């Protein structure tokens, strides 16, 4: 009974107007911002309780930035007819509790990457493995693509193109890469694609050196 009483007491405290206002204005937008940011930065996913300070900080940032936009919208909404007011409230709620917090999380990530590329701050991406593949995804688009030459731990070399259905893991998962095409080597250099190849899975623990080649003048065959 004691646990049940504590639960009821906690729920009654949470449903107070001031608690709901705090949740909607700070906690929920901050949580959305944090989760969107963490979806772009490889790392161990923290529980909400462990990231409470970050959630509140993001919530405050949301409140400050949204006040510039939301307050004028509230004055505009006050002039709407009742038939349109309900729809406007729903749109405003989605905008302020979902869209804007998500945009802030993505914008903060992009700013950190921009600043890190110019040497202003350290990169939010911890490991070179994640950094290089994130950069490939940002910068490389057809007709360009990346070819990897991998020197295995036993000294042999394999080669493949990082094209569809290529995929790379990210921290904290083990470092693995799926190369979309297998290529032949000629004197250690990429020569041509192996006909009928559909990919090659490589585990970094079996690799000594990874070389990346940006190919500009040719397009990989269509699959």
- Taking only the tens place, the pLDDT of each residue in 79-90 is 778 777 778 788
- Over range 9-21, report the average pLDDT: 53
| Residue range 75-114, pLDDT digits in tens | 777 777 877 777 878 888 888 888 999 999 999 999 998 9
Per-residue pLDDT of 39-72, as tens digits, reads: 888 776 677 677 888 888 998 899 888 888 777 7
**Strand 176-179 versus strand 181-186 pairing type:** unpaired
Q: In whole angstroms, what is the distance from residue 166 CA to residue 142 CA?
A: 14
* pLDDT for position 117: 86
Span of 11-20, 149-158, 170-179 with lowest mean pLDDT:
11-20
Longest Cα–Cα distance in the chain: 76
CB 100 within 8 A of CB 65: yes
Residue 168's DSSP bridge partners are 177
Query: CATH 2.30.30 spans which residues of the chain?
Result: 128-215
Q: Categorize the per-residue pLDDT at 214 as very low, low, confident or very high, splitting at 50, 70 and 90.
A: very high
pTM of structure: 0.66
Pick the CATH number of 128-215 from 3.30.70, 2.30.30, 3.40.228, 2.115.10: 2.30.30
């Amino acid at each position: 009974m004691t646990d049940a009483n504590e639960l009821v007491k906690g729920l009654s405290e949470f449903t107070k107007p001031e608690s709901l206002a705090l949740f909607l204005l700070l906690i929920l937008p901050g949580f959305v911002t944090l989760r969107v940011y963490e979806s772009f930065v490889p790392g161990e996913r923290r529980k909400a309780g462990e990231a409470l300070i970050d959630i509140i900080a993001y919530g405050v940032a949301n409140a400050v930035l949204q006040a510039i936009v939301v307050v004028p919208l509230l004055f505009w909404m006050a002039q709407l007819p009742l038939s349109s007011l309900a729809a406007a409230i729903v749109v405003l709620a989605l905008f302020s509790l979902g869209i804007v917090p998500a945009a802030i999380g993505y914008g903060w990530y992009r700013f950190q990457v921009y600043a890190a590329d110019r040497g202003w701050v350290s990169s939010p991406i911890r490991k070179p493995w994640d950094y290089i593949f994130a950069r490939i995804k940002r910068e490389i688009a057809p007709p360009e693509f990346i070819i990897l030459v991998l020197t295995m731990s036993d000294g042999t070399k394999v080669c493949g193109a990082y094209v569809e259905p290529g995929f790379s893991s990210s921290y904290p998962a083990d470092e693995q890469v799926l190369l979309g095409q297998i290529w032949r080597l000629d004197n250690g250099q990429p020569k041509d694609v192996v006909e009928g190849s559909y990919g090659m899975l490589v585990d970094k623990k079996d690799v000594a050196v990874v070389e990346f080649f940006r190919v500009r003048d040719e397009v990989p065959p269509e699959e």
